[in-house]
Structure 1
Amino acid sequence: MNPSVTAPSLKALRQCIDTAAASSGGADASALAMAHAIAERLLQVESDLHEQSSLLRTVLDESPDFIILKDHEGNFLLTNAPVARFYNTTPEAMVGKHDGDFGCPPEMAEAFRQNVQDIMARGETEIVYEESRDARTGRTSYFKSIKKPFAGPDGRPRILVIAHDITDLREAQLRVEESERRLRHALEATGDAVWDWHLGSGRLTLSQRWQEILGYRAEDLSGTLTDFLQCLVEEEADDINRALGECLEGRGDYQHEHRMRRRDGSVIWVLDRGRVVERDADGRPVRMVGSVADVTDKKSAQDLIWQQANYDALTGLPNRHMFLDRLQREMQVSDRSGHPCALLMLDLDQFKEVNDSLGHAWGDVLLQEAAQRLRLCVREVDTVARLGGDEFMVLLGDVADPTSVTRVVHDILKTVSQPFRLGSDLVYVTGSVGVTFYPNDASSTEELLRNVDQAMYAAKREGRNCGQYFAPVMQVAAQERMRLITDLRAALSHQQLQLHYQPIVDLASGEVHKAEALLRWKHPERGFISPAEFIPVAESTGMIHEIGDWVFHEAARQAARWRRERPDFQVSVNVSPLQFENGRLALSAWLHHLRSLDVDGSCVVVEITEGLLMEAGPEVTRQLLRFRDAGVQVALDDFGTGYSSLAYLNRLDIDYIKIDRSFVSNLKPASPDLALCEGIAMMAHKLGLKVVAEGVETEEQRALLQAAGCDYGQGYLFSRPVPATQFDALLAHRSHEPA
């Protein structure tokens, strides 16, 4: 009812009744009274309806929600003030019109109309999320609408719409979604995949990058946690669940590196990270987001770095770093169990000869084969390591029976001594093994390594191809050697080294034309120390280079002095094979020193060993030829004790051969040694070489050697090695002796 229309009609009706009563003069008074009462009642009803209608309108207009009544065509039958304000009009103006009449885009208005008809057709109340454009601001607003279809009094279909404005909430949600979208894009730009897990519904949203990393297509995925579970490697599940559980309980973010199985069955390593971003009022996790990064290449690189840091690249055995770590752990196990552990060091004998004769490539093959053989000599729980070069370590744990170590040593020596097939060659090497025990022999890794090294070198001194157990006496010997090294370092600077000279006599004339310079060390406390004791120390420590330079310079200086009196005089200088290694021989400085003394190279003879001759590589050959070009002659010392080659003698332009004293000491008429000396002399003369016999101690030996064709003799028969001052006197004395 519309009060503005009905009120005038009721008032006019009451006026008609009043006029009729006055003109009737009281006739039918009761009927008129009744009519008057009805009119009054109607006016009262009309007033009540007007008040209720105003109250209803006030309630509708004060509602914060949109309240709309539409007909089947989507036309407005009733709206409240919020709707009218949204469309910038009045409720009365909207009656009979539709959304498109108030600035709503045609496609949006048509969608509203179609939605009304669909809901009326279904006949059920529905909740709809929709948007519309504000006619005043042009801003898009978002609504949550409850739409209830019903039939009006006339039987025509109607629909009641109550729409709640959720624009602020929706825009906040859109901002969050946009932020998450940007975050996903940022993460995916780094190559990471993104996941979003709603714990309540079990819904799992996975990004495109996740599908790419694991090889899945969108149609392969269910959108649930199953997508993740089907990619797990079974052994990883417990660790992942534990890490996830800690995160869900609020104990930090989730981060776990694990394997995942791709759709094609291959396995990759991933770094999986996540964080709980939403919890309910009780603190229970509702939503979790995270990322997955493919770290397979990084993991492989880390594994490679770890492998290189802990394993020998050639043999695949643990290297020094890993071996020391395992040794430390085995010592701790020994402390707990009370059973000792054994440490073995193996050094391959004759390995250098293999490298020099066949080359380093075949030497590497031998090392690889040796490593495989050693593994077969021990238990799986034991450790075989390569420390470098041809040195191997074996760590035997839980040695309840020490005799078992002896069996292992025997097995190692036996397997190493078996021939190695290197290409078309069969190569034979042996091994020297040192053994020490923890805690019996030492209490630290440093002591153990020192002990086993000493034991191994003791095995070498015993003739090689054997094993030696560490004994305290070895420690004493090692300490003595360390003191010798320390004292030898000071010997040169403190002028404790000196040269003695032994004459080399012309067997035919008895004249002294040459001398060999022999190094002597007079220790301030121990007196003279044998060269056999300190020369190997000088070679092993590298001091031989500095000492060798001093010897040459001193011998050359003395040779220059003697040559002023005897123009053809020569001094022989022994040169260690180690001085030729890696081009470290200071040849240019030596030749410069000769020039500074105003003498030519012929005043010096360089004595080398047969071993150097056999190992003469390009650098050694170059150095020897430079000696020849400078006029420095070369003598081959200890001839007959090694593996000399006539080709080397000829190619390297040797000048002298020195027959080793072992052939001279037992020299007798018609003896094999005499025949050998005769053969050597004949061969040397055919090659244009001179022969010096060493170790001559008797007149008979001198006579036999002269008869055998030797050119020179050297030995105690003529003189022991003496200092330069005494050698001067010897020269003066022999120069006055009759020939």
Structure 2
Amino acid sequence: MKSAANITSISDLQAIIDVMPLPVFIKNTDHRIVLLNEAACEFFGHSREVMLGFSDFDLFPEEEVEVFHAADNRVFESGVLSENEEQVTDAKGRPRTVITRKRRVELDDAAYLVATITDVTAYREAEAHSHYLAFHDTLTGLPNRALLNERIDQALLRSGRTGERCALLYIDLDRFKEVNDTYGHQAGDALIQAFAERLTTIVRASDTVSRLGGDEFAVLLIDRGEDADVDLVCHRILEAGAEPFDIEGGRVFLSASVGVADAIDDLNSTEFQRRADVALYQAKREGRACYRRFTSVLDERIRHDRQIESDLRESLATESGLEVHYQPLFHTAGEKLAGMEALVRWRHPEFGLLQPEEFISIAEETGLIVPLGEWVLKQACTMMARWPDLVLAVNFSPVQMREDSLVDRILGILKQTGFEPSNLELELTESAVLDTDQIVREQLRRLRAEGIKIVLDDFGTGYSSLTHLQKLDVDKVKIDKSFVHDIVTNGESEAIVHAVTYLARVLGIPVTAEGVETKIQHDLLGIIGCSEMQGYFYSHPLSAEDTQRFLDDKSKWTRIA
């Protein structure tokens, strides 16, 4: 075979392109094929003998040929390498998405165009499917919360400009848990699908029906001029919830509760949704199977939130009531203890032991998340500094990440407690990791430079996309527990976990599965390739005292599955 330096004629190229796996063909200035390899013959569905002398008109529809000729002529004229993504029709009449790369070459004192074809149809279809999954509920096919948020923003903008009234309905199926407990999750999924279909028949095409998760739905009603219009929809939703469901050969009777918020003020999306949520809570408090509009109940909710804020300030000032609990993380290989995740709890003097979801959002809204987060980090580092072989995972809020002194504060705590930066993992949601704010980007860069690991938490619940995963500077991914929960019964969830784990492995990123509750989940996740696991299957979160005893007893550092 001749070297590249000795190629002077077009015939010299045949031996070279024959060993190339991609379709390669060479055309003259008349747009006729003068050379091609076997891969090109397979793509176009003709033999080499038949295709030699072919023009684009022999291979593609006329409208496609006009585009190709224009692109080819530009390459002939400029001599510059051209790379384009194009839609073509293959030999079987199937539309294909391809990337073509074309360059002009001079051989035998004549100009030719060398072209390669890369078929990216499967990749683009997978990408489109991934995008679809990011904005749609996998069980019902309805828009999910992310897409609902976009449409709410659009509706509120129109309402502000034109005065067009819209309403947001939050819907919850009453006693749905009993169906799951009695008939199983598969029956529960069938019921959710049936109710979703009923909802879509009630509203207009311009409205949006969304599944928020579990048995929670939302309906965004557009251009509803009268309260009576909204009332009618609510009544129909109640009827749809009360109509029997045929499940597992029997009839199941449920009901629905509905909360209504009207966009009659200058609302933002967060407040709009909060009002609908408060109204739904009121409907459930008043006996369920009814709908309630947002009213003065909001004032009661605000007063409660203000009490939480005030009491949290007091607890932080006096360092009383707040506790850090710890949940073990285990390596899948060997079932060895990998580390602990720090989880804050609050023993409120009036409301008892509060979980994070009962006060963290208020802490974020008021800025108290910053001192609270520092307190948790200091307590956890002090606890875990004795075990240098274990990592410590700590949740961090996007609000904390926007504090320009965050890195210095974290490093100060690590130095004060003697905790190694390389053993610290900061768990951030997708919204924080994808934040384009320059301060946040710089914080992440500095943290990683210090050896601190960045973990993408709850992957799949926000901007979830495999494309995003390729672009993010993270050291670990935690798959959201909702996918783990459904992995045995929902093929879509299993496929997503497979895809994320495979891509992460290709990128060299470890994957942790959280929310592992059963042995069958554990075994399947191990087969798929998750490198770490966490959940009730291993241990519930432990108090500081129980954590101390757990860590002191190294026989518990190995889990016998």
**TM-score normalized with structure 2 length:** 0.50
- Further displaced range: 388-397 or 256-265: 256-265
**Per the alignment, do residues 380 and 218 of structure 1 end up closer, same or farther by CA in structure 2, a change over 3 Å counting?**
farther
Unaligned runs of 5+ in 1: 1-170, 280-284, 498-519, 523-530, 544-580, 591-739
Report if the CA contact (8 A) 2:23-2:116 is conserved. yes
> What's the counterpart of residue 295 of structure 1?
120
> What's the counterpart of residue 270 of structure 1?
98
> What's the counterpart of residue 305 of structure 1?
130
Shift of 1:418: 0.9
Shift of 1:278: 6.8
Which of 348, 358, 372 does residue 541 from structure 1 map onto? 358
Structure 2 residue 161 is the aligned partner of structure 1 residue 328: no
Supply the distance in 2 between the matched residues of 1:197 and 1:437 (Cα, whole angstroms): 64
> What's the counterpart of residue 197 of structure 2?
372
Shift of 1:296: 2.5
Report if the CA contact (8 A) 2:348-2:354 is conserved. no
Report if the CA contact (8 A) 2:100-2:116 is conserved. yes
Secondary structure of 2:287's counterpart equals coil
Structure 2 residue 49 is the aligned partner of structure 1 residue 209: no
> What's the counterpart of residue 605 of structure 1?
none
What do the CA deviations read for 1:682-714 (whole angstroms, capped 9, x no partner)? Answer: xxxxxxxxxxxxxxxxxxxxxxxxxxxxxxxxx
Which of 273, 298, 306 does residue 449 from structure 1 map onto? 273
Secondary structure of 1:303's counterpart equals helix
The residue identity in structure 2 corresponding to 1:260 is V
**Per the alignment, do residues 277 and 454 of structure 1 end up closer, same or farther by CA in structure 2, a change over 3 Å counting?**
farther
The residue identity in structure 1 corresponding to 2:358 is T
Which of 39, 51, 54 does residue 221 from structure 1 map onto? 51
The residue identity in structure 1 corresponding to 2:55 is L
Supply the distance in 2 between the matched residues of 1:461 and 1:233 (Cα, whole angstroms): 66
Secondary structure of 1:376's counterpart equals helix
> What's the counterpart of residue 8 of structure 2?
175
**Per the alignment, do residues 295 and 481 of structure 1 end up closer, same or farther by CA in structure 2, a change over 3 Å counting?**
same
**Per the alignment, do residues 539 and 180 of structure 1 end up closer, same or farther by CA in structure 2, a change over 3 Å counting?**
closer
Report if the CA contact (8 A) 1:310-1:322 is conserved. yes
The residue identity in structure 2 corresponding to 1:389 is G
Shift of 1:204: 6.2
> What's the counterpart of residue 640 of structure 1?
none
Report if the CA contact (8 A) 2:174-2:254 is conserved. yes
**Per the alignment, do residues 211 and 535 of structure 1 end up closer, same or farther by CA in structure 2, a change over 3 Å counting?**
same
- Further displaced range: 331-340 or 424-433: 331-340
Supply the distance in 1 between the matched residues of 2:198 and 2:147 (Cα, whole angstroms): 20
**Per the alignment, do residues 358 and 203 of structure 1 end up closer, same or farther by CA in structure 2, a change over 3 Å counting?**
closer
> What's the counterpart of residue 411 of structure 1?
236
Report if the CA contact (8 A) 2:256-2:288 is conserved. yes
Report if the CA contact (8 A) 1:205-1:224 is conserved. no
Secondary structure of 1:464's counterpart equals coil
Supply the distance in 2 between the matched residues of 1:397 and 1:206 (Cα, whole angstroms): 57
Supply the distance in 1 between the matched residues of 2:32 and 2:348 (Cα, whole angstroms): 89
Choose between structure 1 and 2 for higher RCO, CA contacts under 8 A separated by at least 6 residues: 2
Secondary structure of 1:431's counterpart equals strand
Supply the distance in 2 between the matched residues of 1:391 and 1:409 (Cα, whole angstroms): 15
**Per the alignment, do residues 289 and 219 of structure 1 end up closer, same or farther by CA in structure 2, a change over 3 Å counting?**
closer
Report if the CA contact (8 A) 2:25-2:33 is conserved. no
Supply the distance in 2 between the matched residues of 1:385 and 1:409 (Cα, whole angstroms): 15
Q: State which structure, 1 or 2, has the greater radius of gyration over its C-alpha atoms.
A: 1
Supply the distance in 1 between the matched residues of 2:40 and 2:111 (Cα, whole angstroms): 22
Structure 2 residue 213 is the aligned partner of structure 1 residue 395: no
Spell out the pairing of 1:96-135 with structure 2 (5 A cutoff).
none
**Per the alignment, do residues 193 and 462 of structure 1 end up closer, same or farther by CA in structure 2, a change over 3 Å counting?**
same
Supply the distance in 2 between the matched residues of 1:269 and 1:178 (Cα, whole angstroms): 30
Report if the CA contact (8 A) 1:214-1:261 is conserved. no
Percent sequence identity over matched residues? 31
Report if the CA contact (8 A) 1:452-1:470 is conserved. yes
The residue identity in structure 2 corresponding to 1:477 is E
Supply the distance in 1 between the matched residues of 2:193 and 2:280 (Cα, whole angstroms): 21
Shift of 1:226: 3.6
Shift of 1:238: 7.9
- Further displaced range: 374-383 or 237-246: 237-246
**Per the alignment, do residues 240 and 537 of structure 1 end up closer, same or farther by CA in structure 2, a change over 3 Å counting?**
farther
Report if the CA contact (8 A) 2:79-2:103 is conserved. no
Shift of 1:399: 3.9
What do the CA deviations read for 1:600-650 (whole angstroms, capped 9, x no partner)? Answer: xxxxxxxxxxxxxxxxxxxxxxxxxxxxxxxxxxxxxxxxxxxxxxxxxxx
**Per the alignment, do residues 480 and 201 of structure 1 end up closer, same or farther by CA in structure 2, a change over 3 Å counting?**
closer
Supply the distance in 1 between the matched residues of 2:66 and 2:166 (Cα, whole angstroms): 37
Supply the distance in 1 between the matched residues of 2:227 and 2:12 (Cα, whole angstroms): 71
> What's the counterpart of residue 293 of structure 2?
469
Structure 2 residue 187 is the aligned partner of structure 1 residue 362: yes
The residue identity in structure 2 corresponding to 1:255 is E
Which of 178, 192, 196 does residue 353 from structure 1 map onto? 178
The residue identity in structure 2 corresponding to 1:211 is C
Structure 2 residue 252 is the aligned partner of structure 1 residue 427: yes
Secondary structure of 1:325's counterpart equals helix
Spell out the pairing of 1:41-80 with structure 2 (5 A cutoff).
none
Secondary structure of 1:373's counterpart equals helix
Shift of 1:305: 2.2
> What's the counterpart of residue 89 of structure 2?
261
Report if the CA contact (8 A) 1:442-1:448 is conserved. no
> What's the counterpart of residue 194 of structure 1?
24
Which of 167, 176, 184 does residue 342 from structure 1 map onto? 167
What do the CA deviations read for 1:197-223 (whole angstroms, capped 9, x no partner)? Answer: 323465565432122123333355363
> What's the counterpart of residue 475 of structure 2?
none
Which of 306, 318, 321 does residue 483 from structure 1 map onto? 306
Secondary structure of 1:292's counterpart equals strand
Secondary structure of 2:202's counterpart equals coil
Supply the distance in 2 between the matched residues of 1:335 and 1:229 (Cα, whole angstroms): 54
> What's the counterpart of residue 184 of structure 1?
17
